Structure 1
């Protein structure tokens, strides 16, 4: 019987995939070592630990007040006093990178008057500061301002002063009266600070195996040394009130990333009247209430090399918090021992070379022969 197309019933088409075959128990993986594969996948898919900007700021250490070292005992003729004070200094510099120096002989009236006259420096209009803006290392002196990245408001100002003739000429051109008075006060204060540094540095170096580096900072493009540099900071009201923490964090992170602009052995901080003093390093930071009238001494990069890495370079910053009508002023003196290049060049010039000695001998012989000829002739 023939089947016609009309007689074929409509059968619905079902394209569903068949169910998966059951996995036989006890079937081994084709990979030889499942543990190695698992470890590789876990390592490859692991999200790396990102270092966020707030993690860059070092953590605060436990509160610790640096020891107070008597300057007279450190530089006295009594060997026991010197040894005891020197051990305290070495231990404190190795642990936290700083100590407090009391009875140093620098008059507190001089420190106060220098901070007072420094107010006039920061009253120079911004449009006149262009010629006196610092650009290290060729021009380490001059103004530098720090602004908030959020709203652009002024956080703090800095003026670097040194005994440079070009700086004197430029500053007297834009602020003749104020700068002349400021320069006179700073010269007297820096001379007193340098006398203190010259006496304590040799005592500190007795316990270190190495030698100080030749100063690499504080010189211009022609190699002329500027000597000790003084960084004068003006702490604005915003930084002394609610915004002081953000201002300080910005400054410290910038310094830790960029490092110090000037190579130095010691930094002597004049911050009498500050409420706190912070010491920062890559390992962490600590804060303490400084002794009234004390000089805070922090270690520089040259001390770090001379100590063989035992003493680490740190960054010291005073914190001025209070209700004052004017902005607070603090100063930091970056000291390095004088370079012996000038002395050696002077000795070299004073020495007569062998060629000059031979020429002088020939002239004396000719003069002697001439005198003998004249004597015989007449």
Structure 2
């Protein structure tokens, strides 16, 4: 721990895993959410199957299915996606291995700064001191572009940890580009349109850990939010936890071990001129079982200007968003907090 302090690393609060391993019967007050945000609300729903799309067939049928899923849910799962199933198991294994290591070893990779997608091992998502904390630990890897990639900030144990992250980055970026192609085609745009609009991607790979919680009805693993970027790919394990808000009701997504959950971010909502929307989601925790997930965020560079696609703007549907510098949206998201979708909704031109 002293070495971590000497390196200037910021980890001023306990990791959730340490709290959970104390054997407490009640969670600390800092994790208790306001009554209206708790998952035992009457708004919560049982397991739900969102659209599952088989990418093996390809072509117009897949584009149509993707478009329908984007309109109806903003979330869907993909199978036969081309990412080797062995790689999915391998990245799950290195994640579980990391969280099983002694705390002093994990803290060697602690986040250096709070907020704005800090790289490394942390718990706190936002800069705000008064926030209610999430029941989650994470390790965030900056994987693309290569100029952001510093593998010395990634764990070295097991020996294949870093090469696994690199391979996973390559495979998921290809899948994200393919999916953006289907989304483009579903809107009547050229397949490369959205990928080119996003530009050189900024990709983060985040391995999440949600320990068992003694009072799961009082807290959340991850507070309600929409993703700020372009498109997100989520690999789940066998423990349900991801919930999606639809028609003011929360639906728990049925895990599929060989599938990726796909959801649109705020920048896709702007690029599609509000035809497709980012969707509010959250994570609930379990009283008995741990849950792991791996999220790949495929986003624009912070210097990228994002605006509604010109072919989707006309006199009958004017631009519903101004041009926005992605970095400004990120800074607002982290400083103010996500608060559902208020950050993106506040940008809509009346």
Q: 1:310 to 1:165 in 2, by over 3 A?
A: closer
CA gap 1:295/1:169 in 2 versus in 1, 3 angstroms: closer
The match for 1:220 is none
Give the SS at the match of 2:219: helix
Q: Which residue of 2 aligns with 1:279?
A: 244
**Residue number among 237, 245, 251 corresponding to 2:212 in the alignment:** 237
Partner of 1:72: 56
The alpha-carbon deviation at position 129 of structure 1 amounts to 4.9
CA contact (8 A) 1:110 1:185 kept: yes
Give yes or no for the alignment of 1:336 onto 2:299. Answer: yes
Instruction: Give the 3-state SS of the residue equivalent to 1:204 in structure 2.
Output: helix
Mapped pair 1:183 → 2:162: yes
2:136 match: 156
Q: Where does structure 1 lack aligned partners over 5 or more consecutive residues?
A: 1-51, 76-81, 217-224, 342-378
State the partner residue of 1:140.
Answer: 118
Question: Is 1:83 aligned to residue 60 of structure 2?
Answer: yes
CA deviations over 1:40-86 (Å, ceiling 9, x no partner): xxxxxxxxxxxx9433569346864212111122x3xxxxxx33322
Deviation at 1:317, TM superposition (A): 5.2
Q: 2 CA distance for matches of 1:115 and 1:316? A: 22
- 1:288-316 alpha-carbon deviations (Å, 9 max, x no partner): 32334111111111211122212221255
Match of 1:291 among 249, 256, 260: 256
Among 270, 287, 292, the residue aligned to 1:305 = 270
The answer to whether the aligner puts 1:195 opposite 2:174 as a matched pair is: yes
- Given that 2:98 and 2:106 are in contact with CA atoms closer than 8 Å, whether structure 1 keeps it comes out as no
**Can you give the 5+ residue segments of structure 2 that lack an aligned partner in the other structure?**
1-32, 305-350
CA shift, 1:155, in A, is 2.5
State the secondary structure of the residue aligned to 1:132: coil
Question: 1:204: Cα distance to partner?
Answer: 0.8
Q: Does 1:55 align with 2:36?
A: yes
Of residues 153, 158, 168, the one that matches 1:171 is 153
Which residue, 61, 78, 82 being the options, matches 1:101? 78
How far does the alpha carbon of each residue in 1:340-370 deviate from its partner, in whole angstroms, 9 at most, with x for none? 99xxxxxxxxxxxxxxxxxxxxxxxxxxxxx
Q: Which residue of 1 aligns with 2:186?
A: 207
The aligned length equals: 256
Quick one: structure 1 residues 247 and 206, their matched pair in 2 at CA, closer, same or farther if it must change by over 3 Å? same
Q: CA deviation at 1:234?
A: 0.7
Q: Distance between the aligned counterparts of 1:114 and 1:204, measured in 2? A: 27
Q: Distance in 1 between matches of 2:134 and 2:36?
A: 24
Q: Which structure has greater helix proportion?
A: 1
Find the structure with the greater CA-based Rg: 1
Q: Distance in 2 between matches of 1:233 and 1:96?
A: 24
- Conserved 8 A contact 1:281-1:313: no
Shift of 1:107: 2.4
Q: d(CA) in 1 for partners of 2:148 and 2:179?
A: 31
CA RMSD of aligned residues (A): 4.0
Q: Which residue of 2 aligns with 1:121?
A: 98
